[in-house]
A and B are shown apart, each in its own frame.
Chain A
Amino acid sequence: MKRRLPPTLVVGGVLVGLVLVVALLSIVWTPTDPTHVEVAARLRGPGASGSLLGTDQLGRDELSRIMAGARNTLLVGVVTVVIAIGVGVPLGGIAALHRGPVEDVTMRLSDVLLAFPAILLAIMFAAVFNPSTVTAMAAIGIALVPVFARVVRGAGLQIMQQDYVTVTRTYGGGGVWIFVRHLLPNVGSVLIVQATVAFAIAILAEAALSYLGLGTPPPTPSWGRMLSESQTFLDQAPLLALWPGVCIALAVLGFNLLGDGLRELLDPRLIERVPTQG
């Protein structure tokens, strides 16, 4: 008997799917070039002269920029989550496997990182290097490392107590073997859930950084920057702030719902026991 999919998973999946489709579509097609400036056609309302969502202060097509912005958003999300998992998971694994001083050092390091605001880290990076999508992604990625390190350590400590880990040791499995073959597959579902939530955090953080001018530099379209630029023209074209705002909200909502839905779907307590054979 198949279980019904949790509604949060369906709604979240649809929203995330929508962002994904739009981002992919923008690679091959947008209504007009999102960086094409046409000052004569600036600040037009929706529907005017063939641009569905109107134009911005430089006469660029808003819809095209929103579509291209989705690509930027997803790129940032993927790269930051990859950084966070790539550093956080081995760190948490090492802590769970070795305990003692090694665990203390890695976990206190992650505490320090956790106490350090991502924005501050991004400002630091932007001051040292030039502010760019790369510095923003690095800052957000590093800020998310402790989240994954903690999740893996927590789940790992529990798994290290299991008999099958002891059994693995009786047939000669060392630390790396246990980590790759036994720990990772068992924390997989927790990681997937955590990754979707981290994705939402990353999107929001990138929007905030771009809004502050610490993220994606112009002319690459970014939802956060579009929001900040529209601020000046709020009384002339209030809808310009609405479009990127709605997009950020929907994307974040989508990933959060997806995370919740996956948590529900993968929760072992909710999975029906398969009857044992003879």
Chain B
Amino acid sequence: MAETLRVENLTVRVGSLEIIHGISFSLRAHERTGLIGESGSGKTLTALALMGLLPEGLHAEGRVAYQQRNLLELEEQDLCRLRGDRLAMVFQEPMTALNPVMKIGQQVAEPLRIHRGMRAREAHSAALDILHRVHLPDPEEKMQAYPHQLSGGQRQRAMIAMATACSPEVLIADEPTTALDVTVQAQILRLLVELVEDGGSSLLLITHDLPVVANVCQRVLVLYGGYVVEEGDIDVIFGQPAHPYTRALLDAIPPLDEEVPDRKLKAIAGSVPNLGEFPPGCPFRNRCPRADEACSVMPALSGDAHRVACWHPLA
């Protein structure tokens, strides 16, 4: 499968503090990759760094290669030309991600007007087609509606319509279903899969919801403390996880078919440390049952198809 985006040694710093520690991965056409981890593991920052949209004060180093160009070194003007056209992003919160004083139709038409140079009327009819494609009910009527007149699921469909308006090669979805209820979640995920299949793009799905990844993705990256600690095919990661952190995450999913002993859910001991308070070496060692002295040095991600960064991998 053709590579669409290759990330090499991506490092994000705020001042002298390193938040993302030289992570590397690549996205391929038609492939759906999941990026999982707890809050504070650096998932969203990774996505923003790929888009060149890091908040003020944060700096990205390394290489994000798209068509032999390093996105991290591009001028803002050139980035603007790629964003929304070749790279697009869907956000978590559809409630605030739409301009409250602008009609849905106008907003969905915006990427087309920016990238395709369409006139208002032309973009309007193209936006209608796109809203049909994301299965928004009554698209003609919804075009004239303001964001507050739509439900959460409908708004997220509109957001996805905007992100996919120009058929991007890389679609990043940052927790696209977290703010939605479960039945709507399934529909939105199905829509994302459908669009990626049809358009031949790559999907990077960022979530902390493991069942979502299991349903949607073919490959998974597990992020902890700004490191990719494990990477592999979905069956391998969920079937035989090698990193103790991945194992612990999977164990935390409550089983539906067996009785939970003492009616207590399994949790990972401790909590994610604050930024700058991760232990030196492997960031998971203070919560890891298998940690010893070796863990004071961060192991490299090793392996071929199934890569893991641990001195004491399981199995």
Contacts and interface: CB of A to CB of B under 8 A. Distances in A.
B253 interface: no
A164 B77 CA distance: 20
B101 A171 contact: no
Contacts of A177: 110, 114
Contact of B165 (A171, A174, A182, A186): A171
Contact of A274 (B93, B101, B148): B148
B102 A167 contact: no
B99 A164 contact: yes
B162 A167 contact: yes
A163 B162 CA distance: 14
Contacts of A182: 99, 102
Contact of A185 (B77, B101, B159): B101
Given A164-B97, A274-B148, A276-B149, A171 B162 contact: yes
A84 to B, nearest CB: 23
B140 to A, nearest CB: 16
Residue of B53, B101, B150, B163 with most partner-chain A CB within 10 A: B101
Query: Chain A: interface secondary structure?
Result: helix
A99 interface: yes
A172 B148 contact: no
B51 interface: yes
Interface string A254-278: 0000000000000000000110111
A169 B99 CA distance: 13
A164 B162 CA distance: 12
A170 B150 contact: no
B56 interface: yes
Interface residues of B, number: 35
A171 B163 contact: yes
A168 interface: yes
Contact of A170 (B56, B89, B93): B89
A166 to B, nearest CB: 7
Contacts of A170: 51, 53, 83-84, 88-89, 91, 163
A203 B100 CA distance: 35
Contact of A162 (B76, B96, B162): B96
B80 A186 contact: no
A276 B91 CA distance: 20
Contacts of A276: 148-151
Contacts of B21: none
A173 interface: yes
B56 A99 contact: yes
Interface in A130-172: 162-164, 166-172
Given A181-B102, A185-B102, A277-B150, A171 B96 contact: no
Nearest to B106: A181
A164 B99 CA distance: 6
A95 to B, nearest CB: 15
A277 B147 CA distance: 11
B82 A172 contact: yes
A203 to B, nearest CB: 31
Contacts of B159: 167
Nearest to B55: A166
B111 interface: yes
Contacts of B163: 170-171
A171 B88 contact: yes
A164 B96 contact: yes
A171 B113 CA distance: 11
Given A164-B96, A173-B114, 19 more contacts: A162-B99, A163-B96, A168-B99, A169-B53, A169-B80, A169-B83, A170-B51, A170-B88, A170-B89, A171-B83, A171-B84, A172-B81, A172-B84, A172-B85, A173-B84, A177-B110, A185-B99, A274-B149, A276-B148
21 contacts: A99-B56, A163-B93, A163-B96, A163-B97, A164-B96, A167-B89, A167-B98, A167-B162, A170-B51, A171-B114, A171-B115, A171-B166, A172-B80, A172-B111, A185-B99, A185-B101, A185-B102, A188-B101, A276-B150, A277-B149, A277-B151
Shortest 6 CB-CB contacts between residues of A and residues of B: A171-B84, A172-B84, A171-B111, A163-B96, A170-B89, A172-B83
